[in-house]
């Protein structure tokens, strides 16, 4: 979606906390494919200083033309300490609320389990607190007339007035909200003293007939102030007038741990403004110490209330929770080890971007995710058959084959298992090349199924050469199948499939069985031309999908072998799957949603063109390697894969702290080394949905991390090398 957001930062800490929300909204835009346009407007003391008006006409126009308003705070000691000042920053805020018709202020009060100890109240009293205060915002004593001083200055007066209409529109909102929640509504007033409060009660009573399922109660404000602290869990929705709502919610912030974390939405009939409930906290201004969560959570409210972007809002909340869990909080919450305002914003926006640089799962493009979030359809419906038919065709394009490629609902390992149980019998000799975790797995699997497996061990980081394969085949002329891995994920090492397949065909009648799980979509591959018999890939690799599907291409030879095979196979029977595939069907209930996503992902690959996809992987892999080497890191593999680059950790660098900084400060997840190489190497993926900027990002993040742990290197050298690799 496209949205115009008016940004009114205001005074004191307003600009610094608002900057964090913008950062977070930009991250949401990037991750979910939305365009948020931010336009600044003057308000408060800043506006008085520039244009002598705390809410200038230009700001009002900007607000009216925007889809939502993000507000910081107003107020400045210069005015606070001068009671005689005629123009005051706060007048801007009040006028703005009034002229924009923002008559309800919604303030959710919810504790975060991660920071319960930040509250001075007992854990059992506050754990699970979750209520909402609906504060009337454009009436009551804030706006009542007359207000002022007597002529002789001996008397000052304010007026509190409410019309039935004003009360009713806040109550309607609160009743409706309660209906959707726990169905409990508390009206807070001072009806034992104030006439306006008695009118609130009267209107609430009358209205309650229309909301029979909502349990309505009344509480005097003095008692409410105590109950909030004594037993805050009793509340579901509170509705109250302007002044009481302001005071009670500052008090309620003690339950949650800090005034700095409470957000709000000020809404009317057409416009909505999102603002933390705190003020301009001038003592903290410019010091990078204010908590930005009130503002960030207000941005979360904007996403859900104004834009109905619920998934995006949930993502912001998850980022906030992650920051609290990681202790990335300001001094008001974490006095012993605080981080700065901007660090909290960085952490949350990095969390949202959550850049995966792992060789599976790999990043899923937004348009694929969106496709998968459409309503589910039945797998026998013509719409699904059409999708499956297209997927079958696209898979042929992907594998470069005219033969069937079947779709299994399982991981890549399940796909390899399907080939074994479908093509072989007990006692059949299977050669398995073991040059890493996955080769090891195929050897184990063959041993289990046929009881006759030959392991060809290859040093990690190296690939099997044709002459070596020739010797193995000569030693085992009775082999029925040879399993080898195109791109070994654990070592980032590629095997020359074309050459190995040629040797096997020349010197043996064994079936050529390729684990293409991390190779398909990254490495050049021609199933038919290269004489491969079965090749398996998984959805969460080069296909830019979540895990859950195995795709298996099957040659004519392989199909013939199935006629003689006697190993038991049911769910993973390739024979059954091929038969169903011929009718554009699957033998068992397929993962409908994943296949719908796969259809979209394969369309993306087709539009780019498979040759271009291979070339892109080559470009990215080369740039990634160059960048790492420029930082003084050594590459692990002598036959590098185009899917993943494994790198030796520089000496003296400890993996756990290195990875923690990469992940927590930069939002980058890379893969650890496995087995003997755990803590010694790490692996950077460029498999699937990556581009040039991603390589600059990951190498830039490596630089940041090395700098933070004081590892010597020339700042900028890695990023420059990546840039040169692309530009030369």
Ligand X SMILES: CC(C)CC(=O)C(=O)O
504 binds, among ligand NAI, ligand X, none (CB under 5 to 8 A by kind): none
Q: Does 364 bind ligand X (CB under 6 A)?
A: no
Q: Say which entry of ligand NAI, ligand X, none residue 630 contacts (CB below 5 to 8 A, set by partner kind).
A: none
Residue 74 found at the interface with ligand NAI (CB under 6 A): yes
| 222 given a catalytic annotation | yes
- Cα(484)–Cα(417) distance, rounded to whole angstroms? 14
For residue 266, give Cα distances in angstroms to 273, 293, 431, 479, 537. 5, 17, 69, 74, 51
189 is catalytic: no
599 a catalytic residue: no
Q: By C-beta, is 90 or 559 nearer to ligand X?
A: 90
| Residue 720 burial by Cβ neighbours in a 10 Å radius (0-12, 13-18, 19+) | middle
Q: How far apart are CA 106 and CA 104, in angstroms?
A: 6
Q: Which of 279, 361, 461, 646 binds ligand NAI (CB under 6 A)?
A: 279
273 near ligand NAI, rule: CB under 6 A: no
In the list 93, 207, 503, 550, the residue contacting ligand X (rule: CB under 6 A) is 93
Q: Which of 593, 652, 623, 631 minimizes the C-alpha distance to 724? A: 623
Least Å distance, CB 679 to ligand X, is 52
Question: Under DSSP, is residue 552 helix (H, G, I), strand (E, B) or coil?
Answer: strand
Number of residues that bind ligand NAI (CB under 6 A): 21
Please identify which residue in 246, 488, 665, 703 interacts with ligand X, judged by CB under 6 A. Answer: 246
Asked if 76 is part of the footprint of ligand X (rule: CB under 6 A), the reply reads no
The strands making up 68-73's β-sheet, listed across from edge to edge, are 35-40, 2-10, 68-73, 272-274, 265-267, 104-110, 130-136, 237-240, 184-189, 215-220
Instruction: Characterize 515-544 residue by residue with b for buried, 16 or more Cβ atoms within 10 angstroms of its Cβ, and e for exposed.
Output: bbbbbbbbbbbebeebbbbbbbbbbbbbbb
Q: Is 349 in the site for ligand NAI (CB under 6 A)?
A: no
> Does 258 sit near ligand NAI (CB under 6 A)?
yes
221 lies in the site for ligand NAI, by CB under 6 A: no
Cβ 140 vs Cβ 110: under 8 Å? no
Is omega for the bond preceding 312 within 30 degrees of 0, making it cis?
Answer: no
Residue 605 near residue 613 (C-beta atoms within 8 A): yes
Active-site residue, from 11, 23, 76, 142: 142
Q: Residue with CB nearest ligand X?
A: 90
Segment contacting ligand NAI by CB under 6 A, of 68-76, 184-192, 460-468, 717-725: 68-76
In the complex, least distance from residue 194 CB atom to ligand NAI, rounded to whole angstroms: 23
Written as six digits, the tokens of 108 are 């959710």
Q: Which stretch binds ligand X (CB under 6 A): 89-97, 342-350, 536-544, 622-630?
A: 89-97
Residue 703 touches ligand X, criterion: CB under 6 A: no
Q: In whole angstroms, how close is the CB of 283 to ligand X at the nearest point?
A: 16
Q: Rounded CA gap, 370 and 32, in Å?
A: 9
Residue 422 binding target from ligand X, ligand NAI, none, CB below 5 to 8 Å by type: none
Contacting range for ligand X; rule: CB under 6 A; set: 90-98, 315-323, 498-506, 672-680: 90-98
Q: Which of 56, 70, 90, 576 binds ligand NAI (CB under 6 A)?
A: 90
Strand, helix or coil at 359? coil
Looking from the CA of 300 toward its CB, the CA atoms found within 13 Å total 26
Task: Indicate the helix (H) or strand (E) that contains 311.
Answer: helix 310-325
Give how far Cα 618 sits from Cα of 615, 629, 635, Å.
Answer: 5, 17, 16
Is residue 177 involved in binding ligand NAI (CB under 6 A)? Answer: no
Q: Does 8 bind ligand X (CB under 6 A)?
A: no
Report the candidate in 156, 123, 130, 116 with the shortest Cα–Cα distance to residue 257.
116
Verify binding: residue 290, ligand NAI, rule CB under 6 A.
yes
State the nearest-atom distance from the C-beta of 137 to ligand X, in Å.
8
Sign of CA dihedral 694, 518, 520, 571: negative
| Residue in 241, 300, 332, 533 binding ligand NAI, rule: CB under 6 A | 332
**Which candidate in 189, 236, 246, 694 is catalytic?**
246
Q: Residue 281 interacts with ligand NAI (CB under 6 A)? A: yes
Does 90 engage in binding with ligand X (CB under 6 A)?
A: yes
Q: Which is nearer to ligand NAI, 36 or 274 (CB)?
A: 274
Cβ at position 139, least distance to ligand X in Å: 13
Q: Which is nearer to ligand NAI, 246 or 417 (CB)?
A: 246
Q: Tokens representing 142?
A: 């804030």
User: Cα–Cα distances in Å, from 378 out to 385, 438, 603?
Assistant: 10, 35, 22
* Residue 107 binds ligand NAI, judged by CB under 6 A: no
Number of H helices and number of E strands within the chain? 26, 25
Q: Of ligand NAI, ligand X, none, which one does residue 94 interact with (CB within 5 to 8 Å by kind)? A: ligand X
**Among residues 258 and 358, whose Cβ is nearest to ligand NAI?**
258
Closer Cβ to ligand NAI, 259 or 416, answer by number: 259
Contacts with ligand X by CB under 6 A: the residue count is 5
Pairing state between β 237-240 and 184-189: parallel
The closest of 415, 420, 400, 612 to 498, measured between CA atoms, is 400
> Does 69 interact with ligand X (rule: CB under 6 A)?
no
Tell whether residue 136 is a contact of ligand X (CB under 6 A): no
Is 180 marked active-site?
no
SS3 readout for 498-527 = HHHHHHHHHHCCCEEEEECCCCECCECCCC
Length of the chain: 728
Find the part of the chain contacting ligand NAI (CB under 6 A) among 194-202, 273-281, 417-425, 564-572: 273-281
| φ, ψ for residue 296, nearest 5 deg | -65, -40
Query: How many whole angstroms separate alpha carbon 400 and alpha carbon 396?
Result: 6
The pattern of x and - marking residues 8 through 47 that bind ligand NAI according to CB under 6 A reads: -----x---x------------------------------
Judged by CB under 6 A, which stretch of 67-75, 95-103, 114-122, 712-720 contacts ligand NAI? 67-75
> Would strands 68-73 and 272-274 be described as parallel, antiparallel, or unpaired?
parallel
| Cα first-last separation, the chain | 36
Task: Map tokens 């930009």 to a residue.
Answer: 26
State which of residues 29, 41, 140, 260 lies at the interface with ligand NAI (CB under 6 A).
260
Q: Which stretch binds ligand X (CB under 6 A): 87-95, 325-333, 596-604, 684-692?
A: 87-95
Residue 109 lies near ligand X (rule: CB under 6 A): no
| 444: annotated active-site residue | no
- Binding residue (CB under 6 A) for ligand X from 94, 407, 420, 706: 94
Q: Which residues bind ligand NAI (CB under 6 A)?
A: 13, 17, 73-75, 80, 90, 93, 258-260, 275, 278-282, 290-291, 294, 332
- Give catalytic residues, as residue numbers: 142, 190, 222, 246, 250
Residues that bind ligand X (CB under 6 A): 75, 90, 93-94, 246
């Amino acid at each position: 979606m496209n949205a115009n957001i008016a940004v009114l930062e205001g005074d004191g800490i307003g600009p610094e906390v608002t900057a964090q929300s913008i950062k977070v909204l930009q991250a949401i835009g990037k991750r979910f494919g939305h365009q948020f346009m931010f336009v600044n407007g003057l308000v408060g003391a800043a506006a008085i200083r520039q244009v002598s008006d705390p809410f200038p006409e230009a700001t009002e126009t900007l607000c009216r033309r925007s889809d939502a308003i993000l507000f910081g705070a107003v107020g400045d000691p210069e005015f606070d300490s001068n009671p005689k000042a005629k123009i005051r920053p706060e007048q801007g805020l009040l006028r703005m609320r009034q002229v924009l018709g923002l008559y309800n202020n919604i303030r959710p009060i919810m504790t975060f389990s991660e920071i319960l100890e930040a509250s001075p109240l007992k854990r059992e009293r506050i754990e699970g607190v979750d209520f909402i205060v609906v504060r009337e915002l454009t009436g009551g004593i804030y706006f009542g007339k007359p207000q002022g001083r007597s002529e002789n200055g001996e008397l000052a007066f304010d007026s509190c007035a409410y019309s039935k209409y004003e009360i009713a529109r806040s109550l309607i909102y609160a009743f409706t909200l309660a209906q959707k929640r726990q169905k409990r509504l508390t009206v807070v007033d001072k009806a034992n003293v104030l006439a306006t409060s008695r009118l609130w009660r009267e209107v609430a009573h009358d209205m309650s007939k229309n909301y029979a399922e909502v349990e309505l109660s009344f509480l005097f404000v003095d008692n409410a102030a105590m109950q909030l602290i004594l037993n805050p869990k009793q509340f579901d929705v509170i509705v109250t007038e302007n002044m009481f709502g302001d005071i009670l919610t500052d008090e309620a912030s003690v339950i949650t741990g800090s005034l700095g974390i409470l957000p709000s939405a000020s809404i009317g009939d057409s416009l909505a403004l999102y603002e933390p409930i705190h003020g301009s906290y001038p003592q903290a201004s410019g010091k990078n110490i204010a908590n930005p969560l009130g503002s960030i959570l207000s941005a979360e409210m904007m996403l859900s209330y104004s834009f109905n972007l619920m998934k995006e809002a949930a993502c912001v909340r998850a980022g906030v929770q992650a920051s609290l869990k990681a202790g990335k909080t300001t001094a008001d919450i974490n006095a012993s080890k605080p981080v700065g305002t901007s660090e909290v914003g960085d952490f949350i926006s990095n969390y949202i971007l959550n850049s995966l640089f792992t060789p599976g799962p790999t990043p899923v493009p937004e348009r694929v995710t969106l496709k998968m979030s459409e309503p589910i359809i039945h797998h026998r419906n013509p719409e699904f058959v059409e999708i499956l038919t297209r997927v079958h065709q696209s898979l042929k394009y992907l594998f470069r084959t005219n033969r069937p490629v079947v779709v299994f609902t399982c991981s890549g390992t399940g796909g390899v298992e399907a080939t074994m149980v479908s093509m072989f019998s007990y006692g059949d000799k299977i050669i398995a090349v073991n040059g890493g975790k996955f080769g090891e797995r195929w050897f184990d699997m063959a041993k289990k199924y046929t009881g006759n497996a030959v392991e060809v061990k290859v040093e990690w980081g190296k690939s099997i050469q044709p002459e070596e394969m020739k010797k193995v085949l000569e030693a085992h002329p009775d082999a029925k199948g040879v399993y080898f891995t195109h791109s070994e994920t654990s070592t980032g090492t590629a095997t020359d499939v074309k050459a190995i397949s040629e040797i096997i065909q020349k010197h043996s009648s064994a079936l050529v069985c390729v684990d293409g799980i991390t190779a398909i979509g990254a490495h050049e591959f021609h199933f038919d031309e290269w004489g491969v018999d079965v090749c398996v890939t998984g959805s969460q690799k080069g296909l830019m999908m979540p895990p859950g599907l195995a795709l298996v291409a099957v040659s004519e030879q392989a199909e013939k072998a199935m006629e003689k095979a006697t190993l038991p196979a049911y769910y993973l029977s390739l024979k059954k799957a091929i038969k169903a595939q011929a009718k554009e069907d699957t033998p068992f209930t397929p993962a409908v949603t994943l296949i719908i996503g796969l259809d979209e992902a394969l369309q993306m690959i087709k539009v780019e063109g498979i040759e271009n996809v291979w070339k892109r992987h080559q470009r990215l892999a080369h740039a990634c390697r160059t960048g790492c080497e420029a930082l003084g890191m050594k590459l692990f593999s002598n036959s590098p894969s185009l899917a993943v680059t494994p790198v030796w950790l520089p000496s003296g660098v400890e993996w756990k702290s290195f990875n923690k900084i990469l992940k927590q400060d930069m939002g980058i997840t890379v893969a650890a080394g496995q087995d003997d190489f755990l803590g010694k190497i790490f692996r950077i993926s460029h498999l699937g949905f990556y581009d040039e900027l991603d390589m600059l990002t990951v190498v830039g993040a490596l630089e940041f991390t090395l700098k933070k742990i004081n590892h010597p290197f020339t700042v900028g050298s890695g990023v420059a090398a990546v840039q040169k690799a692309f530009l030369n």
